[in-house]
Amino acid sequence: MRRAVAEGAIHGVRVSVGAPEVSHLLFADDSIFFTRATEEEATAVSDILRRYEHASGQLVNLDKTTVSFSKGVPRTKRSNLATRLGIIEVEEQERYLGLPTVVGRSKKVLTNILRDKLSKRLEGWRGNFLSRAGKEVLLKAVANSLPTYVMSIFKIPVNF
């Protein structure tokens, strides 16, 4: 990916005028590529994936692979590029690493996610044979640690 960017075969995205260009994000076995919606860049991504498969001996699971486009890309171009890549088109990526990929001004989505996670954890403890003090310690530990990951990425509203 870096070589393709350096050679100008792929162009990433910038979040603002002075920000660096981001062409890909990698985490464990998850990858996100950011490119322009052109035949040339789709071909470049396909070539990179095939070279990766050949070099590593691992195969990209196209059943778990999706592509999404920005609003300005026409429908016909979207379907042509998705077909060329051999992957499914989705309107938008719902979540990545457990968090929503698109968050607007309202952070209600984030606070709802945190509340839901905490509620699910608490439900699981109902049957545990812990003393009241033990449950309190467990609750405080989990309640304090759950938002840490979210807060490392998003600014959480003060009233939460």
pLDDT, tens digit (0-9, with 9 covering 90-100), for 50-105: 999 999 999 999 888 889 898 899 999 999 999 999 998 988 767 777 777 777 77
Residue 7 has pLDDT above 70, yes or no: yes
Give residue-wise pLDDT tens across range 119-128.
Answer: 887 777 766 6
Alpha-carbon distance of 139 to 41, in angstroms, equals: 49
pLDDT tens across 24-55, in order?
A: 988 888 888 999 999 999 999 999 999 999 99
The pLDDT-based confidence of 140 (bands split at 50, 70, 90) is confident
Q: Where are the domains of the chain?
A: 2-93, 99-153
